Structure 1
């Protein structure tokens, strides 16, 4: 019995030490997750079914909490659009953490849909959404690699520059 208790204590201490892996990684990358954006209509930020989390579409926000807006390729450059997609990734990670408690529970980023607010002749949507995808790999390593669609749209809610939704497998 004593050995069982010692084993359990060692297990829980190890879990505690290892459970901070992603938080440590965020600190190393100088990433501070923003405040979670509330839904802007009649929906929730995330729905869990089994071991999958479906995250609603999020957009990029500035320091003032307002959406970063405009059409990529008209109002902002490709690089600004890519930065907006990365920013959106931070907003999605904040929503994910609020849903599951700690990001170390993530087994894998499964599927991503990235929508870019752009004119009809803009064709660099994949490069814009790479701002998001690159962030997921920076934070999660190979667990951050995902299936993805990147599409251009004529408009997005509140004129957001990008909107991204994702599906995540968790423990």
Structure 2
């Protein structure tokens, strides 16, 4: 078990196999020492986390959904590192999309679910640049989708 996975275990998180892409794209692309991970949608052991923040979901539910995206992002990074998550150097950037109502303005609070998780799991290596934007809808009606860029060794 990698040191990062040991920290994840302390947080009560076990990475599952990286989700397969749902269409004609790859889940990640490695360019030099950067891994570009395709958008990961909100899902947990029960399935997709769907809904619109500000309508059917509150901010806390959106934040929890964003955390599930972060966990999937790390699963993809682990796959990109041939199973050795200790090759992860840092999170470079996250771009989060929140399925939210037109008058909902707390997208950054929702995406904090992913950002806070990355810092809790990775310490300073989890600090990153970020965007948090609203979307009128997301694939399959999910609440959140997040893509990321990670540096590896």
TM-score, normalised to structure 2, is: 0.95
Gaps of 5+ in 2: none
Of residues 65, 75, 83, the one that matches 1:94 is: 75
The separation in 1 between residues aligned to 2:5 and 2:94, in whole angstroms, is 22
Is 1:152 matched with 2:134? yes
The separation in 1 between residues aligned to 2:20 and 2:45, in whole angstroms, is 16
RMSD: 1.1
In structure 2, what is the equivalent of residue 129 of structure 1?
111
In structure 2, what is the equivalent of residue 167 of structure 1?
149
In structure 2, what is the equivalent of residue 32 of structure 1?
14
In structure 2, what is the equivalent of residue 5 of structure 1?
none
**Structure number, greater radius of gyration:** 1
Gaps of 5+ in 1: 1-18
Of residues 52, 64, 72, the one that matches 2:53 is: 72
**Equivalences, count:** 152
More helix by share: 1
Structure 1 residue runs of 4 or more that deviate by more than 2 Å after TM superposition: none
More strand by share: 2
Once the two structures are overlaid, the 10-residue window that deviates more, 88-97 or 122-131, is: 88-97
Q: Give the superposition deviation at 1:27.
A: 1.5
Larger RCO: 1 or 2 (CA < 8 Å, sep 6+): 2
Secondary structure class of the residue paired with 1:71: coil
Secondary structure class of the residue paired with 1:110: strand
Q: Give the superposition deviation at 1:61.
A: 1.0
TM-score, normalised to structure 1, is: 0.86
